[in-house]
Amino acid sequence: MTDRIYLDWNATTPLRAETKRAMADALELVGNPSSVHAEGRAARKLVEDARHEVARTVGVDAASVVFTSGGTEANTTALQPLLQAARAAAPVARLIVSTIEHPSVLAGGRFDAAKIELAPVTPEGLIDLDALRALLIGQAPALVSVMLANNETGVIQPIRAIADLVHGAGGVLHVDAVQALGKIALDVPALGADLVSVSAHKLGGPKGVGALIHASREVQGLMPLIRGGGQERGHRGGTENVIGIAGFGAAIAAARAGLADEERRQATLQRRLEDGLSQRSNVLIFSKMAPRLPNTTLFCAPGARADTALMALDLAGIAVSAGAACSSGKVQSSHVLKAMGVPVEIGQGALRLSCGWTTTESDIDCYLEAWRKLSGVLLKP
């Protein structure tokens, strides 16, 4: 498989060498981190070292980091009606989420899914701040959930401005930062969010590990989703996934070390890809004018079908993702493109290319060449 080109890093990433080493070392440990003997203490040390790495990377105290089974569990835990902002008279009774959230947020956690209120986005995929303001002002305090970076378009939201709006209305802000962590610098205190979800497998860590960051001391009443033996200071029951957590710690430390250079390198690759796409065929790059992750390009060639293109590219040795969903054999626009007002016939041709630290200029050029050959076939009337 080594000659394949993997351009689907927003779906998941390969394990970093540092991650593999840390996980292999952790495999040798027998102890339960809750045990007081030497074996237990050795396992506890791995968990706490990883917690420090996560905390250091995002600028919070280690005590604010609660390990979970991934981004989905972190999101589900955060979305609950018992949260209360320090100055608010009552817990949040409403949930507002943006229309472009990940399905694990759109599901609403412990809120009644039928009562979730939706905050719209602009055609560029940015939160419509006026519409959000209208949902908040003069109404009962709400929990608001907005992602930092979108998994399909890569659009980065103005979280600080959103936090000011939400807090001004006595609400609580949860931010799904799963796609942002490891790709752009993440300074949680500067974001102003109260709760932040992250996941290891988007940055070279293992699948099935993540964290919910309790970023604010102003928010009370957070109830665990999984209750049990009091692990994670009572915030998440269950014996810790020591091997996975050790891998997460090693991955995040490695991601942090080279981040600024890697961001610049990926932005160069993104320009090369997008210039190449624009020169060689009539493509539309979504959210091109919005602040975006440097690794993500969502585009479509009018008239193409994403499912056909994806299969043809796969046969050519290139893994990409469709920015569209297939149900009952019919290709639909993704909910993100729909929310941006993209017509279905355009959205159903959307492809997402997402790069990572092993992506090279030559990978981009191979992709452009494959796309050139394919578009001649795919776009025939």
Q: Considering the rule CB under 6 A, would residue 71 count as an interface residue with ligand PLP?
A: yes
x/- letters, 188..227, toward ligand PLP (CB under 6 A) = -----------x-x--------x-----------------
Q: How far is the CB of 130 from ligand PLP (least distance, A)?
A: 24
Q: Which of 318, 323, 296 is nearest to 307 (CA)?
A: 323
Q: Does 178 bind ligand PLP (CB under 6 A)?
A: yes
CB of 71 to ligand PLP, least distance (A): 3
Nearest CB to ligand PLP, comparing residues 173 and 368: 173
Binding residue count for ligand PLP, defined by CB under 6 A: 14
Rounded least distance, CB 197 to ligand PLP, Å: 7
Quick check: 290 binds ligand PLP (CB under 6 A)?
no
Distances from the Cα of 313 to the Cα of 14, 27, 180, 280, 364, angstroms: 20, 37, 27, 17, 13
Residue 360 tokens read as 């090279």
Q: Kind of pairing, strands 296-300 and 284-285? A: antiparallel
Q: 151 vs 266, which CB is nearer to ligand PLP?
A: 151
Restricted to residues 132-161, the positions that interact with ligand PLP (CB under 6 A) are 147, 151
DSSP letter for 179, please: T
The closest of 169, 173, 203 to 185, measured between CA atoms, is 203
Please state at what angle helix 361-378 crosses helix 259-280, rounded to 10 degrees: 30
Q: Does 70 bind ligand PLP (CB under 6 A)?
A: yes
Task: State the residue for tokens 């928010």.
Answer: 219
Q: Closer CB to ligand PLP, residue 104 or residue 241? A: 104
CA distance 208 to 252: 15
Run of H or E residues at 164? helix 159-168
Catalytic annotation present for 326: yes
d(Cα 304, Cα 309) in Å, to the nearest integer?
7
Q: Which of 18, 53, 176, 363 binds ligand PLP (CB under 6 A)?
A: 176
Q: Supply the residues annotated as catalytic.
A: 326
Site residues for ligand PLP per CB under 6 A: 70-72, 75, 102, 104, 147, 151, 176, 178-179, 199, 201, 210
